[in-house]
Structure 1
Amino acid sequence: MTTAIIADDERLMRDQLRMRLAEVWPELQIVGEAKNGDEAVELVGELKPDLTFLDIRMPGKTGLEAAREIGNQSRIVFVTAFDQYAVEAFERGAIDYLLKPTEKERLEVTVERLKERLASPKDVAVNDSVTALLSQIAEKVAAPKPRFLQWIQASIGQDLRMIPVEEILFFRSDEKYTCVQTEKFEALIRKPVRDLAEELDPALFWQIHRATLVNVNAIEGVTRDIRGRHLVMVKGRPEKLEVSRSFLHLFKQM
């Protein structure tokens, strides 16, 4: 049985890749998951998986740095979002990769390629030329992430969407999930508003309640109900979002 581990700092991405792999390669056994490059290196040494799916950008040790340490212990499949220059380099270097969010059709191609390479007795996971290629692009790919979140990874049924933050009208949390509302659809994430407030641009998203963040560009106005509560009206939406007293100062100029 072919074994693999998945390394990605985003739990939703790990879940989505595991689900997609179960669809196109049910015989593959996922024996472990890692949240960063250091954990990935440790798991490879401990579990000796045939395959390692590595997110390129992770906190601490990046996927590229982890790949250099893993070497020939496991075949590497890189997972990347928007590093197109890296994708081109990987194609030239015959390195397996997947683009985020993982699409079933693209994964099927990668799975067939992996099966062929694993069946070859001459196959190696990371040869000298690939190691050199990793060294050449590691510095660019490992550049710091933007200061603020640029997109949100959210679940819609069984699918995972990459939603640009500027398209999001508001976030609203309950005890378990946070609703991500756009003009066209609603999605769910597990990250609470208090964490989102630290990761989103405060000039674009205002926290108006302990459980609510609203896109400034989506605010149509503020009204008061018969109970005296201040409510934000959202452009094109029927919802009115309550403003806590501690956040009323944001609307003094309105």
Structure 2
Amino acid sequence: MTTALIADDEPLLAASLAARLKALWPALDIVAVAANGVEAVAALNAHRPDLAFLDIRMPGLTGLQVAQAARDTRVVFVTAYDEYALSAFEHAAIDYLLKPVDDVRLAQCVSRLQRQTQAPPDLQAALAALNPAPAASSLAWLTVGLGDTTRLVALDEVLYFEASNKYTNVVTATERHLIRTPLKDLLPQLDPQRFAQVHRAVIVNLGAVARIHRDLLGRQQVHLKQCADVLPLSRGFAGRFRQM
């Protein structure tokens, strides 16, 4: 059975699209309806649907940002974008629906999806045309797990990252999480204007730094605004903080 996710911050439009899809495609299993971008990414991670109908303008994360997490999911954008943007979608063989969604156009979309059996198209190429961003700053959130629960942690909430063997501790003002990505693999994905390595085992959010303190032995330490933790600042990484 083909599974699908619908994400739209307008509940009536989401419910209408779900009902019309079921009428056109009775075998389609709509596994989740998300009200915003964050819920949509969580649903993608939890259900791994075959299809995702994504509104482009949603609170939290846009449909374009959500689509970056849709690695094995065919995406249909629900959009009011102009013809230039739509042509980019078509070039990558990604379908789209213009609001308000026309019945005939929706039926054409369903027919196309039912016929399409090949692997998902090059979504990243289309996204690059619409939402270009440096690769080093592409990471906007982290997916963390606790038991059967999947959560999203925005990068803005992270105070610092700390290496822990092959894993990494993610520390916010109120929580600590352990992720499987090693610190050395995480660093290239972070925006260098927002995050800096202060020790071989520590990366800090620059916006969370309150002050740099030097103790009696000449060792430098990073003090944070929202956390009592004190982080070591190695000499090799101290240059960036001389103005603080």
> Shorter-chain TM-score: what band?
0.5 to 0.7
Q: Which of the residues 134, 138, 143 maps onto 2:127?
A: 143
What is the CA–CA distance in structure 1 between the aligned matches of 2:140 and 2:8, rounded to whole Å? 14
Q: Report how far residue 166 of structure 1 moved.
A: 0.6
What is the CA–CA distance in structure 1 between the aligned matches of 2:217 and 2:241, rounded to whole Å? 18
Q: Which of the residues 105, 110, 116 maps onto 1:130?
A: 110
Q: Match for residue 169 of structure 2?
A: 179
Contact 2:160–2:205 (CA under 8 A) maintained in structure 1: yes
1:232 and 2:160 are equivalent in the alignment: no
Identity %: 30
1:105-120 equivalence runs, <5 A: none
What is the CA–CA distance in structure 1 between the aligned matches of 2:187 and 2:17, rounded to whole Å? 36
Contact 1:233–1:239 (CA under 8 A) maintained in structure 2: yes
Q: Match for residue 71 of structure 2?
A: none
Q: Which amino acid aligns with 1:233?
A: H
What is the CA–CA distance in structure 2 between the aligned matches of 1:97 and 1:139, rounded to whole Å? 24
Q: Residues 77 and 210 of structure 1: is their aligned pair in 2 closer, same or farther, counting only changes over 3 Å?
A: farther
What is the CA–CA distance in structure 1 between the aligned matches of 2:123 and 2:110, rounded to whole Å? 16
Q: Match for residue 100 of structure 1?
A: 41
Q: Report how far residue 227 of structure 1 moved.
A: 3.3
TM-superposition CA deviations, 1:198-246 (whole Å, max 9, x none): 1111111111122211111100011123332211001121111111221
TM-superposition CA deviations, 1:58-108 (whole Å, max 9, x none): xxxxxxxxxxxxxxxxx332468x7879x95973434434443249xx97x
Q: Match for residue 17 of structure 1?
A: none
- Between 90-99 and 229-238, the greater mean CA deviation after superposition: 90-99
Contact 1:156–1:188 (CA under 8 A) maintained in structure 2: no
Task: Identify unmatched segments of 5+ residues in structure 1.
Answer: 1-74, 108-126
What SS does the aligned partner of 1:253 have? coil
The ranges of structure 1 where at least 4 consecutive aligned residues each deviate by more than 6 angstroms after the TM superposition are: 82-85, 138-141
Q: Residues 97 and 159 of structure 1: is their aligned pair in 2 closer, same or farther, counting only changes over 3 Å?
A: closer
Contact 1:234–1:240 (CA under 8 A) maintained in structure 2: yes
TM-superposition CA deviations, 1:134-169 (whole Å, max 9, x none): 88xx78885247542111111235422101111111
Q: Which of the residues 202, 211, 218 maps onto 1:221?
A: 211
Q: CA RMSD in A?
A: 3.7
What is the CA–CA distance in structure 2 between the aligned matches of 1:177 and 1:140, rounded to whole Å? 29
Q: Which amino acid aligns with 2:240?
A: L
Contact 2:166–2:181 (CA under 8 A) maintained in structure 1: no
Q: Match for residue 153 of structure 2?
A: 163
